[in-house]
Amino acid sequence: MLALAATWGCAEETDSPATPWAVRPFPPIVEPLDNPTTASKVELGRLLFHDPLLSTDRQVACVTCHGQIWGFSDGLPRSIGVGGMGPAGTGRTGPTQTRRNSSTLWNAAIREGLFWDGRATTLEDQVVFPMADPTELGRSPDEVAADIAGIDAYVALFADAFPDEPPSPTAGQLVRAIAAFERTLVTDRAPYDRYVAGDERALSEAALRGMGVFAELGCPDCHAPPAFESARYAPAASDLSAPDDRGRAEVTGDEADERMFRVPTLRNLRATAPYLHDGSIASLEEVVRREAELRARSLSTDELTDLVEFLNKGLVDRAREPQRAVEVPSGLPVPQDGYRIPR
């Protein structure tokens, strides 16, 4: 037990069987001074998140590529934006494929860099990128705000969400509302969290063994608890990724960042397959094998099974998953969510 504490780099050690290492506090959710979270703003952001009014073809919404059952990803190797066909999820097809796998929005509020290349540093910045991308949504916030200004139901919602600002909806308000909604997508109540808080029965014996394998492999060096991610950028783990994708270097211009991608969170990992920045690995088992090989370590069948048990079940938490909107003020149909058989 004490070896785990040292491996995970925690501040202190404990002999308690329920807490084999000291627990770092979960990172705080920091709200911008100009965008404090309110219930009315979050609700407005939730509706906008589901509204295809944000896209050029009036069929794609944020939720198309960041759906609830997909762990706020979409189940595709790379997302299909405007002009796509079929419901959100694995059955969606079309010519407008994005460059990279859709990142989960769970715990996006605590990230110092957003997207695989870290090009956005706040949720407010992040909202703008897919809107401007012609393959994703393809509309500017100004264009959407102009349409919203003609929808009475939205005008009332904006006035309620921003009572101290001019009554006509603006692009800045639209961006802040969606960011406020995304800021509520927090997962910190998984079986792992309950276990380290003292509930000895929260994790199965297999998951506990898997947690030991996780530590022994050095996985927390990058996927650091309690968020199980970090602000680090690592070399592309796929041999199949596009050779013209320079990763972090596209943002920094630094050759040292060539083909480097942000370390993703492992929370709610079970729902976000396929994996890696290019979605090139379909199964969690294969990702684990690949990572072990990169560390010059082979895993036994039992070790692999236990580690996957820990990742698949120990880090799953959908307690604060928001409800998918059934209808939106624009009157446009909310994108349908494709169904998949649970793994």
Residue 120 has pLDDT above 80, yes or no: yes
**pLDDT tier at 290, thresholds 50, 70, 90:** confident
* Average pLDDT value for residue range 162-166: 94
| pLDDT mean over 161-179 | 96
Q: Which of 124, 136, 303, 309 is catalytic?
A: 136
The yes-or-no answer on residue 136 being catalytic is yes
- Give the chain's mean pLDDT: 90
Q: Each residue of 165-183: b (16+ CB within 10 Å) or e?
A: eeeebbbbbbbbbbbbbbb
Q: How far is CA 105 from CA 182, 266, 326, in A?
A: 7, 12, 20
- What does the alpha-carbon distance between residue 283 and residue 226 come to, in Å, rounded to a whole number? 23
What integer pLDDT is reported at residue 239 of this predicted model?
Answer: 66
Cross-strand pairs, 262: 233
Q: Which residues contact 277 (CB under 8 A, 6 or more apart)?
A: 100, 101, 116, 236, 238, 241, 245, 247, 261
Domain with CATH 1.10.760.10 in the chain: 2-23+190-314, 39-182
Multiple choice CATH, 2-23+190-314, 1.10.760.10, 1.10.1040.50, 3.40.800.10, 3.40.50.10300 = 1.10.760.10
94 within 8 A of 83, measured Cβ to Cβ? yes
Task: Return all residues near 296 (Cβ < 8 A) that are at least 6 apart.
Answer: none
Q: Is pLDDT of 38 > 90?
A: yes
Tokens for 178, please give them. Answer: 């969606």
Dihedral sign computed on CA atoms, order 125, 128, 134, 136? positive
20-29, 169-178, 212-221, 231-240: which range is least confident on average?
Answer: 20-29
**Cα dihedral across residues 113, 119, 121, 124: positive or negative:** negative
Average pLDDT over residues 279-305: 90
Is pLDDT of 268 > 50? yes
More reliable by pLDDT, 135 or 6: 135
Return the CATH superfamily for domain 39-182: Cytochrome c-like domain (1.10.760.10)
Q: What is the pLDDT of residues 208-230, one digit of tens each?
A: 999 999 999 989 989 999 999 99
Query: pLDDT confidence of 10, banded at 50, 70, 90?
Result: very low
The alpha-carbon radius of gyration of the chain (Å, integer) is 21
Segment 74-86 shows an average pLDDT of: 94
Task: Encode 96-133: b = buried (16+ Cβ within 10 Å), e = exposed.
Answer: bebbbbbbbbbbbbbbebbbbbbebeebbebbbebbeb
At residue 296, the pLDDT reads 77
